[in-house]
Structure formats: C-alpha cells, structure tokens
Amino acid sequence: MQSDIKTIKKHFQKSIDKYTDNAAAQKYTADILIKELPKTDYDNILEIGAGAGILTSYAANTLKWRNYYTNDLVEKSEIFVKKYIKNTKFFAGDFRKIKFSKKFNLIISNAVFQWFENTDKVLDKCKNLLEKDGILAFSTFSPDNFKEIRELTGLSLKYKSLEEIKTSTEKDFNIISIKKSEYVMKFDNPLKILAHMKNTGVNSLTETHWGIKEVKTFCDNYADKFPDLTLTYSPIIVTAELK
Ligand SMILES: C[S@@+](CC[C@H](N)C(=O)[O-])C[C@H]1O[C@@H](n2cnc3c(N)ncnc32)[C@H](O)[C@@H]1O
C-alpha cells in the first residue's frame, strides 16, 4: 500500500518530538550515509525530509558547506534543524512540489525516499537540481523492511528492491556505492513495538484505528510468531554522482 501525503504529514507531525529518542535505525543509516560520501566539502547542500534533524546533526559534525538548505513536509522540522545548523534555509512542504531557484552540489536524504511512490520522478527532479558532478546520497528501505509486521498484518509500504533502485538511479547517475543492510531491534513486549512504530511516525501505514481487541490480537500473534520480539529494518543506502 502507499500512504497519502496528508496521512504521512499528520503522523510525522505527531511523532516529531519523540522521534530522535526512538529512531535508532535512522541514526544507523545517517551514520553510513555520511561515511559513504566521496568528500566532505560542498558549496550548496540540500537535505530532503530533514524531520527532527538526525541526518542534519551528523552533517553538522562532519561536512563543510557554504549554504545548507533543508526541507520537510512538517513545518515544525525547521525548529529542529536550526538546533544543528542555525542559518539553514528551510523549505516547508512536499519536496516534489517545491520549485527551487538554485542548484546544489550535494542532495542528501535519510529514510525518506520510501515515502515517494514514484522514485523515478524524484530522481529526475534531483538530477535537474544538481550542478555538474553533483552528488546524490539517500537511504531508503527494501521489501524486507518490517517483515514481521507485514507477515502479521499484511501492512507494508510498496518498498522497492535494491535492483529496482539501482536501475532507476543508473539512468542519470553513476553509482558510487549501493548497499543493503539489516538493523534488528529487540523489545521486551509487543506493545513497545507498537509504541516504537508510533513514535517514529511509521504507523501512517494505515489510517484505521485499532481498538483494544485489535491491539491484543496483534500482541498475542507477535509473541507467538516472533518470540524474540524483534523488529527488522532493512535499509538500502545509495551514493551516486550525476552523469
Ligand atoms: C523517517 S523520517 C526521517 C527524518 C530524518 N531525515 C532523519 O534523518 O531521521 C521521514 C521524514 O520525511 C518527511 N517526508 C515524507 N514525505 C515527504 C515529502 N514528500 N517531502 C518532504 N518531506 C517528506 C517526513 O515528514 C519525515 O520528517
């Protein structure tokens, strides 16, 4: 399934205050993203979907720039990113709809591309926004992401496989590196898994409200099928240079 933009915004708006404390997997991918970059110095950087500023904080500690631009669907994100980069220029709204009047040397984005139904269109927009030799670096998730949730509920985003992402990226970019990884979290009860999903905004997979009965069934089935109470993240991390 694919969530609509209003639902995605609503859930991330609600979770943004608790996000950083809960987003261990996104910290893991932000760290890899920054380390995979071919250099650390860029004139103009654009970060797509900056959220509570996890990637922004890693960039602030590692990269050098003249201008660092940030974007998120959720307006409140501006307050978070400005904690790490005071003078960032923030673009509120759906990245796909924003008209930028300048080009960038690096476009970077952590754990956002899985929300874009049409990856090709977004990659095309990135291509047009990059200067010659510009770098695009993003993390997204593979179809194995949250395999436990999919198996139990049938709910999942339409994640693209590594091969699909590779093919789409290679149209206009030379791939520097593309990696699929795994990050497994462990919980001490299934309710904490639900709370984790809520606190990281990921419950925008469905608008349906779960009552006590649905929650109990979910928890019982989870403990039954996955007694170790694991939740598996399956990130794909891409670094590429404009052709
Ligand atoms: C999983 S969070 C990742 C946040 C941050 N990049 C990090 O490093 O943790 C996904 C973010 O993407 C944003 N987002 C989703 N769709 C978007 C869109 N179409 N345009 C801009 N931001 C979007 C959400 O509001 C949310 O803050």
153-186 per-position pLDDT tens digit = 888 778 999 999 999 999 999 999 999 999 999 9
Question: Is the pLDDT at 222 greater than 80, yes or no?
Answer: yes
Q: Which atom of ligand 1 is nearest to the CA of 54?
A: 8
Q: Ligand 1 pocket check: which of 34, 71, 73, 97 to mutate, most ligand atoms within 8 Å of Cβ?
A: 73
pLDDT at 1: 46
Region for residue 117 given its phi and psi (left: phi exceeds 0; alpha: psi -120 to 50; beta: otherwise): alpha
Would you say 34 and 9 are in contact if contact means Cβ atoms under 8 Å apart? no
Classify residue 204 by its DSSP letter: G
Percent of the chain with pLDDT over 70: 96
pLDDT at 121: 98
Which carries the bigger pLDDT value, residue 196 or residue 167?
167
Instruction: Please state the rounded mean pLDDT for residues 51-58.
Output: 98
Q: Is the CB of 144 under 6 A from ligand 1?
A: no
What pTM does this model have? 0.94
Q: Is the CB of 111 under 6 A from ligand 1?
A: yes
The domains located in the chain, with CATH, are 5-144+157-184+233-242 (3.40.50.150)
Q: Is the CB of 55 under 6 A from ligand 1?
A: yes
Would you say 11 and 201 are in contact if contact means Cβ atoms under 8 Å apart? yes
Region for residue 40 given its phi and psi (left: phi exceeds 0; alpha: psi -120 to 50; beta: otherwise): alpha
CA 109 to ligand 1 center in whole angstroms? 8
Query: What is the average pLDDT score of the chain?
Result: 93
CA 111 to ligand 1 center in whole angstroms? 7
CA distances from 110 to 49, 80, 153, 171, 235 (A): 7, 15, 26, 21, 10
Question: Is the pLDDT at 127 greater than 70, yes or no?
Answer: yes
Between 23-32, 82-91, 92-101, 207-216, the lowest mean confidence (pLDDT) is in 207-216
Count CA atoms closer than 13 A to 88's CA, side-chain side: 29
Name the closest-CA residue to atom 19, ligand 1: 94
